[in-house]
Amino acid sequence: MIPWLTEDSPFPPVENALRTPNGLLAAGGDLSSHRLLDAYRHGVFPWFNLGEPVLWWSPDPRMVLFPDEINVTRSLARVLRNAAYEVRCDTAFEQVMHACAAPRRGQQSGTWIHEDMIAAYCELNRMGYAHSVETWIDGKLTGGLYGIGIGRMFYGESMFSNASNASKIALVHLARQLERWGFGMIDCQMKTLHLASLGAREIPRSDFIVRLQELVHYAPVTDWRLDTDLFT
């Protein structure tokens, strides 16, 4: 059994999360900005389908990408040097979320990035916490990602690509910029082969929480713009 959160209920300790399904911690509550920011500061994130109650997760182990460990292959390095693209921050946040919500090849039509989630994260974007990193080619949004930045911690939520390497370009630019800003981790939540190929790895949840509690207390970055010399 997992606890049901009311409006004022705090999150239970992440150590109470279920083993099966891995990381399910609580249900209920809402997607208010206060609730979401409190969740992220405690290593918890929402993940649920439309029509379900809000479900809160904190899996063990946790998939993370340390910014200085981003894996840039030779072929990707050539793409990055080619510069036939533009990478921007926060110029099309809602558009990125809708693109991440669109069905992918082999997926069913349902998605956890539904309109309630989009509205909640767009509000966090207006507050300066949620950010998008976007790859533009010939004036068209072709790939990108979005997530939450608190202190010197970034929580990756989802990414999409409608052109070869477009999401990788966005992620590599983000990792390089976060490294310059002194960010310690990019939370990737759950293991995927795609993320592992880019340098992400699993760490124990206990280690994740210890590092998280240090990083979220740094002063926030207030000017989310990419340096122009990240790959020169």
* 4-61 shares its CATH topology with 63-211: no
Residue-level pLDDT at 110 = 52
CA 180/CA 154 separation, integer angstroms? 13
Phi-psi bin for 74: left (phi > 0), alpha (psi -120 to 50), beta? alpha
pLDDT tens digits, 6-33: 988 999 999 999 999 999 999 999 999 9
pLDDT tens digits, 120-140: 999 999 999 999 999 999 999
**CA angle at residue 19 from 14 to 21, to 5 degrees?**
105
Residue-level pLDDT at 132 = 98
Return the domain boundaries, the chain: 4-61, 63-211
14: which residues sit within 8 A by CB, 6+ positions away?
A: 25, 42, 43, 44, 58, 60, 205, 209
Helices (H), the chain: 33-41, 74-82, 93-101, 115-127, 166-181, 193-197, 205-215
Examine the pLDDT at 42 and tell me if it is beyond 80. Answer: yes
| Topology at the third CATH level for domain 63-211 | Aminopeptidase (3.40.630)
CA 70/CA 72 separation, integer angstroms? 6
Percent of the chain with pLDDT over 70: 97
Residue-level pLDDT at 109 = 47
CATH architecture of 4-61: 2-Layer Sandwich (3.30)
Considering the chain, what is the average pLDDT of its residues?
A: 94
CA 136/CA 196 separation, integer angstroms? 25
Q: Is-cis flag, bond preceding 46, omega within 30? A: no
Examine the pLDDT at 105 and tell me if it is beyond 70. Answer: no
CA 5/CA 68 separation, integer angstroms? 37
CA 93/CA 122 separation, integer angstroms? 7
Q: Please tell me what DSSP assigns to residue 103.
A: P
C-beta neighbour count of 108 within 10 angstroms: 7
pLDDT tens digits, 52-97: 999 999 999 999 999 999 999 999 999 998 878 999 999 999 999 9
Examine the pLDDT at 196 and tell me if it is beyond 70. Answer: yes
